[in-house]
Structure 1
Amino acid sequence: MTPVFDVVLIGGGLVGSSLAIALNHSGLSVALVEAAAPRASDGPREDERNLALARASTTALQTLGVWSHLAASATPIERIHVSRTGEFGALRLDARQEGLDAFGAVVPARALGVALAQELEQCTRIRRYTPAELLDLRPGSDSTQISLRTPDGDTLIAARLLVGADGTASRVRALSGIGVDEIDYGQTLFVCSVYPQRPLTGLAYERFSDTGPVALLPLAERRAGLVLSVATPDAADVAALDDEAFLAYAQQRFGWRAGRLSRPGRRSAHAIRRVVAHSLVAPRCVLIGNAAQTIHPIGAQGFNLGLRDALTLAQSLIAQQRAGGDPGAAALLQAYAHARREDRDGTLAFSDGLVRLACSPAPLLKPLRSLGLLLLDGLPGLGSLVARRGMGFRGRPTAYALGVRP
């Protein structure tokens, strides 16, 4: 007999794992299908992709019980400095002026994956299929039939609600017939750690230029995470630079606010594109995280937005379960899509608009950008509004972001 679950999650990445953890005590029967499960014993590496977690995200991870596994790897973001090369004006934000200890924290992505894996191992109510590959879907009126390929052979399970958390190239999205809008930004992102001459001590920099944004994020042991975007036609030349030449290039792009940059770690490169699903939902199916939207990493909003997807959905499903309702009901899914609209649309518009406005070489924009930064920095209340949205509190926050389990 085919096992039928209330919820089947396809994708055990950062967002999918977060949703599974949130649903562990929900009373729903939940299956998690993972192509390759992260190993809780994996240790973070010195040089890897780093994530700037918004305050709403750090609070939510505390609420889920994940933060206790992660706190030792986290570096608080206490101040933020935003500027543009060759232009006057800067936006300076200080958490203390907002009555906070930090706006969020920087964590290695691998460390977050390990922390989620450690918490997930304690979720005994989650049925895990790993490694497993999604082969096909057959939607029905009461459930969706899901064909999986596992090491033991092909198997069939069913879901009253199917959740696609399987990334930018989502197979759930494709099999559900949901189209996408795609933009190639023509940029490649280089990521590594560096050693700044002046310790950042909780200060995060975002600096813009005609060739793209550059960020410097505070890390443990006086190191900093460098996030450097270059035009894709130049990416091969930048990748071929030796460490000394790469540092000189990064220094020219970022400037000297942190002093001389030295001791670069291993570099990785990532093409930047935006992929946005036409719909968040289909019959008995919902998309979250990068399967729903993959956005420009400017402002570090990607994972934070995906986590808010997952926890808004968890909150909706828990309320539906307590009311004895159907987790795949069309009304529930439409309500979820509506609940995500303000945050999703606002974040998509912000990330796309910011990269186009802040990195445009148009001469007429220069004085306008400088004036805008001066106003944001100088007028009471404007900086606080930017800070609140950057902390992940756009629209109605989830209970998790407020430190409460629903």
Structure 2
Amino acid sequence: MPHDYDVVIIGAGMVGASLACALAPSGLRIAIIESVTLTNDQQPSYDDRGLTLSPSTKRILEQINIWSQVQAYVTPIKKIHVSEQGRFGFTHLDAVESGFSELGNVVIARSLGLAIHKQMSSFENVNLICPAELKHFQRTDSGMILEISHSGDIEKICAGLLVGADGSYSLVRRLAGINTKEHDYKQTVIVSNITTQKPNNSTAFERFTPHGPVALLPIDKNRSVLVFTVEGKNAEYYLNMPDEQYIDAIEAEFGRRLGKIEQVGQRRSYPLRFIEAIEQYQDQLVLLGNAVHTIHPNTAQGFNLGLRDVAGLAECIIDGIEKGRTIDDIGILEDYIKLRRDDQQYVMQFTNRLAHCFYNDKPLLSSARNVAMLLIDMLPDLKRSFTERSMGLAGLQPRFVRGQSL
């Protein structure tokens, strides 16, 4: 049976749609299947969260011609201040001191999601099937046979490669019988936009508290995205607080580094879990983004890690085809895992350990945390190494991250 598509991507969020944009110039026939209308509030890639984009992500977006469309909506991060509530240690990162133009950028997820979707829609060889839902798939010698529910009918399509980019509770992962390692952090992130008395001067703040991190991400002169982590059992209490009471609660945790919080916008909440797929790929199938690794947002690495995976997978697919491999050759996916494993493992382990480390009040561990932050701040080589890691530029990285085309 001939392939209807070379690649079928389940999930048209920012990770899945970015993969379509990365692969489309090669001429591959691509379908992207999404169950939720992209303008619907239930589509998390198109909400009002602030996303921190690492320099590695900026380079990838440049290579797939999206950065120019979203550049007007981003705010650069020039400095980052990290501290722990009630402790003496802190780390201060400065772009100029580190030899970079910026440490990252902040963009509203809706703006970036719409730009990625616009770019994806410009390719004639990318077919968006939406709203539609994967019901079943079957591997055959001639390809992956997918059953899709679309417009009230069940359609069958044949693909060379199935990509599951359908989020933390991936249907593709479940249908493939892939198990996961999971941990409930028993925390919830509450996200809102705030206006402060003083300008943020392109500075991002992160403060670790006994309840979880509180972060401020700059989006305008006096406006920031507030990311407030609370114990899951208390989430509804904070969500339903009057604005003035909520502002008081934030200032009690964060202080008034930017003066008084003058206004707070709509609050949205997201429960936090660690999810790691035991297998990243099978014959004719690969998982991507949150479907393979859902991590704690304490270092804002989730989307950035997922986009580096997009860059790595696109590189290995295109390189494999240029070498004469077929799209369903499992060697392509083996090459992809070799390219991406170290970066994935480092980020997953670092964020998970950080989450557990800062929520442990044992005196010895608390002292060690503060000494570690002071050492990072005082030792230039250590600080630069830490900065490059956080920017997604350290170690073996895909060509897009190195500013090279495929």
- Name the CA distance, whole Å, in 1 between partners of 2:142 and 2:179: 24
- Name the CA distance, whole Å, in 2 between partners of 1:38 and 1:240: 28
Q: What SS class does the counterpart of residue 182 from structure 1 fall into?
A: strand
Q: What SS class does the counterpart of residue 401 from structure 1 fall into?
A: coil
- Name the CA distance, whole Å, in 2 between partners of 1:392 and 1:400: 12
2:271 is equivalent to residue 271 of structure 1: yes
Aligned to 1:55: 55
2:309 is equivalent to residue 309 of structure 1: yes
Per-residue Cα deviation, 1:274-324 (whole angstroms, up to 9, x for no partner): 111001101110000011111111110010011111110000011111122
Q: What SS class does the counterpart of residue 344 from structure 2 fall into?
A: helix
Q: Does the CA-based 8 Å contact 2:84-2:209 persist in structure 1?
A: yes
Q: What SS class does the counterpart of residue 135 from structure 1 fall into?
A: strand
Aligned to 2:169: 169
Structure 1 range deviating more: 122-131 or 6-15 = 122-131
List aligned pairs for 1:185-264, cutoff 5 A. Answer: 185-264=185-264
- Name the CA distance, whole Å, in 1 between partners of 2:3 and 2:37: 21
Aligned to 1:43: none
List aligned pairs for 1:353-392, cutoff 5 A. Answer: 353-392=353-392
Q: What SS class does the counterpart of residue 220 from structure 1 fall into?
A: coil
Per-residue Cα deviation, 1:86-122 (whole angstroms, up to 9, x for no partner): 1002101111112211011000011111110111121
Counterpart code for 2:327? P
- Unpaired stretches in structure 2, ≥5 consecutive residues: 41-46
List aligned pairs for 1:41-190, cutoff 5 A. Answer: 48-151=48-151, 153-190=153-190
Q: CA deviation at 1:39?
A: 5.2
Q: CA deviation at 1:220?
A: 2.0
Off by >6 Å, runs of 4+ in structure 1:
none
- Name the CA distance, whole Å, in 1 between partners of 2:290 and 2:345: 14
- Name the CA distance, whole Å, in 1 between partners of 2:60 and 2:139: 33
Structure 1 range deviating more: 118-127 or 339-348 = 118-127
Q: Does the CA-based 8 Å contact 2:199-2:221 persist in structure 1?
A: no
- Name the CA distance, whole Å, in 2 between partners of 1:69 and 1:37: 22
- Name the CA distance, whole Å, in 2 between partners of 1:27 and 1:124: 9
Aligned to 2:325: 325
Q: CA deviation at 1:355?
A: 1.1
- Name the CA distance, whole Å, in 1 between partners of 2:4 and 2:394: 36
List aligned pairs for 1:338-357, cutoff 5 A. Answer: 338-357=338-357
Structure 1 range deviating more: 346-355 or 26-35 = 26-35
Counterpart code for 1:66? I
Q: Does the CA-based 8 Å contact 1:163-1:286 persist in structure 2?
A: yes
2:1 is equivalent to residue 14 of structure 1: no
2:392 is equivalent to residue 405 of structure 1: no
- Name the CA distance, whole Å, in 2 between partners of 1:382 and 1:93: 11
Q: CA deviation at 1:165?
A: 0.4
- Name the CA distance, whole Å, in 2 between partners of 1:176 and 1:248: 48
Q: Does the CA-based 8 Å contact 2:283-2:330 persist in structure 1?
A: yes
Quickly say closer, same or farther: Cα 1:142–1:3, change in 2 above 3 A. Answer: closer
Q: CA deviation at 1:240?
A: 2.1
Structure 1 range deviating more: 3-12 or 246-255 = 3-12
Q: Does the CA-based 8 Å contact 1:178-1:282 persist in structure 2?
A: no
Structure 1 range deviating more: 356-365 or 190-199 = 356-365
Q: Does the CA-based 8 Å contact 1:76-1:104 persist in structure 2?
A: yes
Q: What SS class does the counterpart of residue 172 from structure 2 fall into?
A: helix
Counterpart code for 1:241? M
- Name the CA distance, whole Å, in 1 between partners of 2:212 and 2:5: 45
- Name the CA distance, whole Å, in 2 between partners of 1:322 and 1:14: 27
Per-residue Cα deviation, 1:247-278 (whole angstroms, up to 9, x for no partner): 00011111122221120000011111111100
Quickly say closer, same or farther: Cα 1:68–1:38, change in 2 above 3 A. Answer: farther
Q: What percent of counterpart residues are identical?
A: 37
Quickly say closer, same or farther: Cα 1:330–1:2, change in 2 above 3 A. Answer: closer
Q: What SS class does the counterpart of residue 258 from structure 1 fall into?
A: coil
Q: What SS class does the counterpart of residue 396 from structure 2 fall into?
A: coil
Q: What SS class does the counterpart of residue 363 from structure 2 fall into?
A: coil
Structure 1 range deviating more: 396-405 or 129-138 = 396-405
What is the TM-score with the length of structure 2 in the denominator? 0.95
- Name the CA distance, whole Å, in 2 between partners of 1:335 and 1:402: 18
Q: CA deviation at 1:2?
A: 7.0
Q: Does the CA-based 8 Å contact 1:26-1:321 persist in structure 2?
A: no
Q: CA deviation at 1:4?
A: 2.7
- Name the CA distance, whole Å, in 1 between partners of 2:316 and 2:367: 46
Counterpart code for 2:288? I
- Name the CA distance, whole Å, in 2 between partners of 1:48 and 1:127: 26
- Name the CA distance, whole Å, in 1 between partners of 2:376 and 2:122: 45
- Name the CA distance, whole Å, in 2 between partners of 1:11 and 1:99: 37
Q: Does the CA-based 8 Å contact 1:2-1:156 persist in structure 2?
A: no
- Unpaired stretches in structure 1, ≥5 consecutive residues: 41-46
